Amino acid sequence: MSPAQDHPPAVPPTGRAGATADQAPRALTTDPVATGDAPQVVVVDEAVLTLDLSAPTEALALPDTLVPADQGALIDRLISSYPPKVARKRRRHFQVNEPGAPAPIGANERTVPGIITQRGCCYAGCKGVVLGPITDIVHIVHGPIGCSYYAWMTRRNQARPPEGVANYLQYAFSTDLTEDEIIFGGEKKLAAAIREAHALFHPKAIAVFSTCPVGLIGDDVHAVSRQLRKELGINIFGFSCEGYKGVSQSAGHHIANNGLFTHVVGTEEPDAEPDPTRFRINVLGEYNIGGDAFEIERILERCGIDLVATFSGNTNYGDIARSHTADLNVVMCHRSINYLAEMMETRYGIPWTKVNFIGAEATAKSLRKIARYFGDQALIARVETVIGEELEAIAAERAEIRSRCEGKLAMLYVGGSRAHHYQELFRDIGMPTISAGYEFAHRDDYEGREVIPSIKVDADSRNIEELDVVADPLAYHPRRSPEQLDALARSGLQTRDYVGMMREMAPSALVVDDISHHEMEVLIREYSPAVVCSGIKDKYVIEKMGVPCKQLHNYDYGGPYAGFVGARNFYREIDRLVSANVWKYVTPPWAGESLGAFASGAA
C-alpha cells in the first residue's frame, strides 16, 4: 500500500494489559529499506502503542466446579504416604497459587532419593541442552559411551547451517572410558581423541565434557584442553559438568553459560562494521527443538529485525563468537541462560529483556517488546503489520479448535520455562491450567526475579563457579543509558526482569516443584485433566492412566510450536489428542479404589 492511499489497514490491539479500543489511532509508515517491501502506512490504535508490556498476562480463570474446595487438604493427601521427614521436605514444594503475591516455594533443592523424579543431571544440562545444538563445534564426551549416547540428538535440535559451515550434530564423539581408564586415568585417551577428531574434521573448536566417573578419578579436562589448544592451534575448552554436581541439570546450564562466555563470546569480530541503522538482537535460551528457531527466524526477518546469534539452536561457533555486537538480548528460557544475559550486559553493555515466542498472543507481545526497545516508528509499524497478518492467518482455525477445547483442563510439569511458556498456547484455545511446575527451576522462575536477594545460597549452588565479570575496557558500549532504560520501564518495558510463572497462573491453581510419579498420579486422578504436558520419563506412565500426554522435552515427532505457525501446529495437536476416543478404553490403575486410600497408599 502506498502512502497516498486513503484507507490504510487498521491493526487491532491484541495485548491484554491496559488496552482500550476507544483511544485515538496513530498512522505509522513502514521502512522499505529494512524489509525490502514497498513502504506502507499502518494505522495503529494508541492502545497498542501504550500497552504495559511488562505486566503479567492474566490467566484463564479456573471453573469453580473443577477446583477442590480445599487445595491444602489435597496437598496433605499427596504427601501422606511419605515418611514424616520426606513429607515435611516435600510440603515446601507445593503452593496454592496467589498471583498477586506468590508465596515462597521450595525449589532447586536436592531430590529425595528413590522418589522417581523427572530431573536430569548436570552433564545433561551442559552438553545436552546448552552446548549440544551448536553445529560446528566437535563435542567430545569424556566418559562411558552411555553418557555420550544419552546426550546425542535426544532433544531433536535441528539446524540449517549456512554454506561453508560444518554440521557435526549427526556425530556422537566419546572417549568411551572403560575399566582400565577408570583405574589408571583417562587423560591420555582424551588427548588422543582430541587429536583424532581434529585430524578427521578440522573443526573451528572442540568442547570437552566431563561425566561422573571423570570427576571421581580426577582427570583434568581443562589441562588437557589447554595443552591441545597450543598444539593444534584451535579453540579447545573443557567443562567440569560431572553429572552429580548441583541438584539437577540447572547446574549444567550455569557451567555452560560460564564456559561459553569465557571461551567463545567476543572472540571474533564481524567482517564489516555493523550497520547502526539495523535492529540487531540475540535470542538466548532457544534450542530449536523440532524447528522452533526456524519459525522465530522467519518472523524476525519479516519484521526487519537482524538476528546475530541464537543461544544455541540453529547456530554456529562464529555466530556466538560475534554475539557481543548485538544491541539487545532477548531471553526465552530464563533458567538456562539468564547468567549469560547478565554477564553480557556487564561486560559489553547489552541490555536484556524476557520474551516468549510460545503462543500467538505471547509472540505478538514479544515482538512489540523488541520494537518498543528500539523505539523506531517504522519498525513499530512493520511489527504491527506482521502481527495483524499472522494472527489473521490462524484466526479461523484457532476459533474452530477453541470451540472444541474451551474449558478443558491442562497440567504441565516440564523444564525450567516450558511449563510457563506453554500455558500461553493453552490460553489461546481456552484451556485453563489447573496445575503446573518445573523440574529444575529456582525460586525466581516461579516467583519472579525480585526474590533473588532473599534466596539462600546452599552448598550445592556454591559448587558452581560465579565469574567475576567487569566491563571490557575496549568492547564495553552501553546500548542504552540508565535514563533511557528508566524511560523504557515507565513506558511499560522492563529490562533485566522476569515476573515468573506464578504471577501468570490462575488463583487457586496448584504449583508443584520437582513432582514425583506418585504425586502426578494422585493429581491426575483428582483433576481429570484433558491433557498433561511432561517429559519422556512420564509420557507412557501418564497415558496408561487414560490421559493423553504431550511430550515437551523434544516434541516426539512434532513441531515447531513457536511463533504463529507453531501455535497453529500446537492447536491442531492438542485438538487431536483431547478429542480422541481411545483414552476412554484405558483402565487407570486406581479403578475401583477410593481416592483417599489411593492417595495414602493404603489400598
* DSSP per residue, 150-209: HTSSTT-B---PPTT----TT--EE----HHHHHH-SHHHHHHHHHHHHHHH--SEEEEE
Q: Is the predicted pLDDT of residue 23 greater than 60, yes or no?
A: no
Q: Which domains does the chain have, with CATH numbers?
A: 10-49 (no CATH), 122-246 (3.40.50.1980)
Return the C-alpha cell found at 433.
Answer: 491450567
The pLDDT confidence band at residue 416, using thresholds 50, 70 and 90, is confident
The amino acid that residue 216 corresponds to is: L
The predicted structure's pLDDT at residue 599: 56
Q: How far apart are CA 211 and CA 173, in angstroms?
A: 13
Q: Is the predicted pLDDT of residue 387 greater than 60, yes or no?
A: yes
Q: Is the predicted pLDDT of residue 465 greater than 60, yes or no?
A: yes
The pLDDT confidence band at residue 26, using thresholds 50, 70 and 90, is low
Q: How far apart are CA 499 and CA 511, in angstroms?
A: 15
Residue among 139, 155, 335, 442 flagged as catalytic: 155
Condensed to tens digits (0 to 9), the pLDDT of residues 261-309 reads 999 999 999 988 888 889 999 999 999 999 999 999 999 999 999 999 9
Residue among 47, 59, 107, 124 flagged as catalytic: 124
Condensed to tens digits (0 to 9), the pLDDT of residues 308-336 reads 999 999 999 999 999 999 999 999 999 99
The predicted structure's pLDDT at residue 505: 97
Residue among 121, 341, 364, 533 flagged as catalytic: 121
The pLDDT confidence band at residue 191, using thresholds 50, 70 and 90, is very high
Please tell me whether residue 45 adopts helix, strand or coil conformation.
strand
The amino acid that residue 60 corresponds to is: L
Q: Is the predicted pLDDT of residue 12 greater than 50, yes or no?
A: no
Active site (annotated) includes residue 155: yes
pTM given for the model: 0.91
The predicted structure's pLDDT at residue 536: 86
Alpha-carbon separation of residue 26 from 3, 49, 381, 527 (angstroms): 14, 9, 10, 47
Beta strand pairing call for 10-11 and 41-45 = parallel
Active site (annotated) includes residue 92: no
Residue among 93, 139, 142, 253 flagged as catalytic: 253
Active site (annotated) includes residue 568: no
Which residue, 271, 285, 282, is CA-closest to 307? 282
Q: Which residue has the higher pLDDT, 11 or 178?
A: 178
Active site (annotated) includes residue 124: yes
Q: How far apart are CA 105 and CA 109, in angstroms?
A: 11
- Beta-bridged to residue 28, according to DSSP, are 42
Return the C-alpha cell found at 9.
Answer: 489497514
The predicted structure's pLDDT at residue 457: 87
At 460, phi and psi to the nearest 5? -65, -40
Q: Which residue has the higher pLDDT, 398 or 31?
A: 398
Residue 477: count of CB within 10 angstroms of its CB: 13
The predicted structure's pLDDT at residue 16: 32
Q: Is the predicted pLDDT of residue 21 greater than 80, yes or no?
A: no
The pLDDT confidence band at residue 459, using thresholds 50, 70 and 90, is confident
Q: Averaged over 71-76, what is the pLDDT?
A: 90
Q: Is the predicted pLDDT of residue 602 greater than 60, yes or no?
A: no
The pLDDT confidence band at residue 4, using thresholds 50, 70 and 90, is very low
Q: Averaged over 140-158, what is the pLDDT?
A: 85
Q: How far apart are CA 280 and CA 413, in angstroms?
A: 34
Return the C-alpha cell found at 202.
Answer: 578440522
